[in-house]
Structure 1
Amino acid sequence: MMVAQLKDLFLKDNFFLDATTIATFIRWGAEFTIGSSYQSTSAFYDTIGISDNSPLFSLSSSLIIIFSFYIYLKKASAKYIYFGEFSLLVFLTFLSTVFMTMLSKELLVVLVIVPFIYFAEKGTIGLLIWSLLAIVYATYFRTYWFLFIAEFWLLYLVFRSTRSALLLATVVPLSLFALSVFFGVSLGIDLDSFRTKVNDIRLEGNVDDARTMIMPWLPGGGLIKGWLNVCITWITLMVPLPLILMGTPYYLIISYAVIVMYYKIWRRVTIEIKQKNSEVVSACAALVLAYVTIQSLFEPDYGSYVRHLSPFYPLIFFIIISRPHSRTSHT
């Protein structure tokens, strides 16, 4: 809560660009608009009577974040956590507080993600109901969530039907190849064209806060190169080599946290896939991996990536500390 109140003193101005844009839309009289993220987000805040980044809003949003982590910590029913896990918890709550205690699109995502575990406990029916909620969000706020929801169901069904973590990992590039074909045939564009266009505009405008832009790994275009660029990006979202090569303490800390986080996720996924111990863990892991997969198509830079992932941090920590012997699934 202290970080929420004092963040203005140590954060750079670029951290507040989204909040400033949303506040501007609120003053202009935003309305819920299909497919318009800023319009609909601003309309939501306006509807509940929030128009700026007041100290009271920072306090309220920090309490929402604390409550989110509390729910998932309690659901994990872990009797212990290691020091490294506790350190990761502190760092993830810090990032969540930095990104979501201001007017942001991510704080709304928390409202969709927090109840996910309750729906997952109800099995397939619960997940279908949650998917309907997510579709409503996708319609008005972020259209790429339609792809995210489809990818989630693909990974979840594979998760529950195989005992091979390698097969699950192989499904991701195969699904990305299917998307590459779809984008090329139906839309006439490469799979990584959305990110490339955004970053081309930023480069032309000499944007000085885009040092972590995700650039194409292979030059040129085409169905295969676009697919390969996205697949490599998917890997480097989990092992952020470009950030590591920057060599600054800030990026090295971020990189270390991201690597540890995904290492522990995949280790837990490997155990769960073999033992079939918890349907809830399976659903949560499928959700996180599906989101990262779709992020590999659209994320323009690593800063946006870490921010957009922040609503999932409580759920990610749940996966990490849910011990194989803890029966968290419904019976």
Structure 2
Amino acid sequence: MRVVVTGAFGFVGRRLADALLRTRTFGGTPIRRLVLADRIVQPDSPAAADPLVDVVHGDVIDRLGEVFAEPVDVLFHLAAAVSAQCEADVDLGMRANVDTTRALLDAARAQSATGGPRARVVFSSSLAVYGSHPALPLPPLVSESTLPMPQSSYGTQKLICEHLIADYTRHGFLDGRVARLMTVAVRPGQPNAAASGFLSGIIREPLAQRPVTCPVRPDLQVALASPRRTVKGLIRIAEVERGAGPGQLHGPMPVNLPALTVSVAQMLATLRQVAGDAVADLVTIGPDPAVEAIVGSWPSVFDNRRAAALGLEPDPDFMSVVRDYLTDRRTGGVSR
């Protein structure tokens, strides 16, 4: 069993790699090699030093020969340009998201066509494939059957990739699975270029005694998932067998990972409850119409039944998300 993770040294990728290394199996089968591919590599990370791991350094689209140097059984494709980057530079987003994904799919197709295994490809999509327009507003409760209508370049690029994966799967070139991620919070480290990055920043930065600006109105509702629930969801969607029975993956439809719906005001109230007034007062409200236009177009209330049928549940409340973050920050732990 040879497993590949692209974007493996990003936030979610690191935690996914760590989870796979803890069990050293996929679906009960021992992992023979775990390939961690990323344009930015942390050579001193524990994962990179693990004897089970091979590291591929560089843009994935330029390193396909190394990724597919041996047969790939499972491919987690997490590498992507993020939302605000794609909005500012459409060409960058098309290359990083659409062109790279198609190249990976074509490499998997070629592997199967030449007698190799039919790769199981797990694609991390996004709730950004949805969007509300005055002519066709979102329903109050969003499910996988809701028409995706992205209102950002990032969401459009993710949706293009979803359709490519569905078509390649229909033709039998590969076994594609699409997990639509909610906004993952709370993320440690430095702020990134994602439009949703402030949803981690308004918790992370004050807890580190740094002031931060919240660029949206406090009553805005958002759909979140903790790193732990996100990694669990990716692995479950990857490992589950296809079929019509209970606990199996039915049909080609993507799976929306379970969402916790919370308002920004509730997030800030939780911060105040956990850390006190002095910390919570480090957050100021400073509206940024560009950020609110992107994040505000995403749905916040999801029908989680499809995920629940696979044994996946949302975080119980935002307090549990913050406590997980504090525990991981204190212990250096990762998702479990």
Q: TM-score range by the shorter chain?
A: under 0.3
Q: State TM-score, norm by structure 1.
A: 0.26
Give the helix-richer structure, 1 or 2. Answer: 1
Q: State TM-score, norm by structure 2.
A: 0.26
